[in-house]
Amino acid sequence: MRDPLSEVISLLRPQTPSSKLAAASGPFRVRREDVTEVFYAFVLVGRVCLQLDGKALLEMGAGDFVLVPAARGFTISSVDPPPASGTTSRPVVGEDGVFRIGPVDGPVDVQQLVGHCSFGSADSELLVSLLPDMVVVRGEQRLGALAGLLRDEARADRPARDVIVQHLLEVLLIEAFRASGQPGGSPGLLQGLADARIGPSLRAMHRAPEQAWTVAQLAREAGLSRSAFYTRFNRIFGVPPMGYLLSWRMTLAKHLLAGGGQGVAEVGARAGYGSVSAFSSAFQREVGCSPMRYARTVAAE
């Protein structure tokens, strides 16, 4: 059985990446507001400032990697020299495919590998909410190597390209989240997995979602009292334990129904429901349609 992080990344179904090499000369400031996809960047040379909307200014140097799972606007600017107030730079693609910022004949002060991808899951909003809103990894060269492989593969016209790209994206995301999963980080799945108490109960839910879990049983997995476990889980995830379990079961059920080949009874059993009627009622309440209708709708798309 894969661990919860691998499950979430796999269910997100990362796809359709675009990546580019960007080289900058002199002072610059690039502003992007039309962001609708996952954003990541790896600094190869120099230093930059990244300002995500609603977040503190982040300075990055060579070897640093940043990943933003949820789309939001951002500004990237030079550190030395800093841009003058009101400076706006427009990247221009060169004949070599490299995007240049600033004077095209000037010495390269900053070089970055920048990429975007999307999530194919219908539950991407729920799954992304389990992850940190920003991941920063410093000095981890293997992330740069993965990003480079992804860039090369996405641009190639080779057999099984789409399959390889998806797997490379999954590995890149897992490596980034794994490298940043430290206690005290952003609320969500990584902090839960890193928490010595909540981690065992979280893994138990993912290992056996079909089990008739209670708060008392999950608290025993965590080695805490019911009230202490409930409070700690809710603080990390922003939802109670049983609310998290219900959302996860529905996510798995939709994934299984979309895959076809399994009846409603079997899917319901794997999602932790002892009868078709109980599963159908819960699915209707949470998703807004019956399991059969959901499966037919997905198949018709």
pLDDT of residue 6: 85
| Cα 17 to Cα 176: distance, rounded to the nearest angstrom | 16
Cis peptide before 81 (omega within 30 of 0): yes
Between the CA of residue 200 and those of 6, 166, 176, 241, what are the distances in Å? 16, 29, 22, 13
Domains of the chain, CATH where assigned: 4-180 (2.60.120.280), 195-300 (1.10.10.60)
Buried b (16+ CB within 10 A) or exposed e, 31-68: eeeebeebbbbbbbebebbbbbeeeeeeebebbbbbbb
Note down pLDDT in tens along the chain; length 301 residues: 457 888 888 888 888 788 889 999 989 999 998 888 889 999 999 999 999 998 889 999 999 999 988 878 899 999 988 998 888 999 998 877 889 998 877 789 999 999 888 988 877 887 887 787 788 889 888 888 999 898 888 888 888 888 888 889 889 988 888 776 544 445 578 788 888 999 999 999 998 999 999 999 999 999 999 999 999 999 988 899 999 999 999 989 998 998 878 899 999 999 999 999 999 999 999 999 999 999 998 888 7
pTM of the model: 0.73
